[in-house]
């Protein structure tokens, strides 16, 4: 499973604007990051800040990136693609992929991928961290430490 270096997200069914977002890989953050946002109003209408602030940009872009990378199977598809791998390794993969796609809930996505309650995600992620498959992080900051992940992974080899 590969995260693309970048792509364009177009949303045409969102009132009051059509939207276009350009995402590109950010090596420092080790995730896709928005580089451009375009809001297009209907003919004769103006783009207004009062309307822009009501657009859930984070949710829209994360959902679009997840769909583009994971397809219709979503997070459970990652588990299905690795039936013989150690559960902690697959959980780490789901977590890192979730962070790379900009999700604000990577631990919950680990649980969702396994058909479990989202509340069980942090425990599974903790086991992956204990196994050395994920870097240590600051509580509440899913991307913290990911830029040092390669250094941490190389030390274990």
Residue pLDDT tens, the chain, 157 long: 678 888 898 888 888 889 999 999 988 888 888 899 999 998 889 999 998 888 888 888 888 888 888 999 999 999 999 999 999 999 999 999 999 988 889 999 999 999 999 999 999 999 999 999 998 876 666 654 444 444 444 444 4
pLDDT, position 33: 87
Cβ proximity of 102 and 143 under 8 Å: no
pLDDT of residue 139: 65
How many whole angstroms separate alpha carbon 33 and alpha carbon 12?
21
pLDDT of residue 151: 46
Q: Determine the pLDDT at residue 85.
A: 95
Structure confidence at residue 142 (pLDDT): 61
Non-local (6+) Cβ contacts of 6 within 8 A are: 22, 23, 24, 25, 32, 35
Helix, strand, coil percentages for the chain (3-state, nearest 5): 45, 15, 35
Q: How many CB atoms lie within 10 A of CB 106?
A: 22
Confidence (pLDDT) at 31? 86
> Which one, of 29, 36, 30, lies nearest residue 8 by Cα?
36
pLDDT attached to residue 157: 41
Taking alpha carbons only, the member of 59, 145, 60, 58 closest to residue 95 is 145
């Amino acid at each position: 499973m590969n995260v693309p270096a970048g792509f364009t997200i177009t949303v045409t069914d969102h009132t009051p604007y059509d939207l276009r977002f350009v995402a590109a890989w950010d090596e420092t953050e080790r995730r896709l990051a928005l580089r451009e946002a375009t809001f297009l109003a209907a003919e004769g209408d103006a783009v207004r800040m009062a309307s822009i602030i009501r657009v859930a940009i984070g949710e829209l872009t994360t959902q679009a990136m997840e769909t583009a990378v994971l397809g219709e199977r979503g997070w459970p598809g990652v588990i299905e693609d690795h039936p013989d791998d150690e559960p902690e390794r697959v959980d780490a993969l789901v977590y890192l992929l979730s962070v790379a796609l900009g999700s604000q809930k990577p631990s919950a996505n680990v649980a969702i991928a396994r058909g479990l309650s989202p509340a069980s995600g942090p425990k599974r992620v903790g086991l992956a961290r204990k196994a050395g498959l994920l870097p240590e992080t600051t509580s509440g900051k899913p991307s913290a430490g990911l830029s040092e992940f390669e250094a941490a992974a190389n030390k274990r080899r």
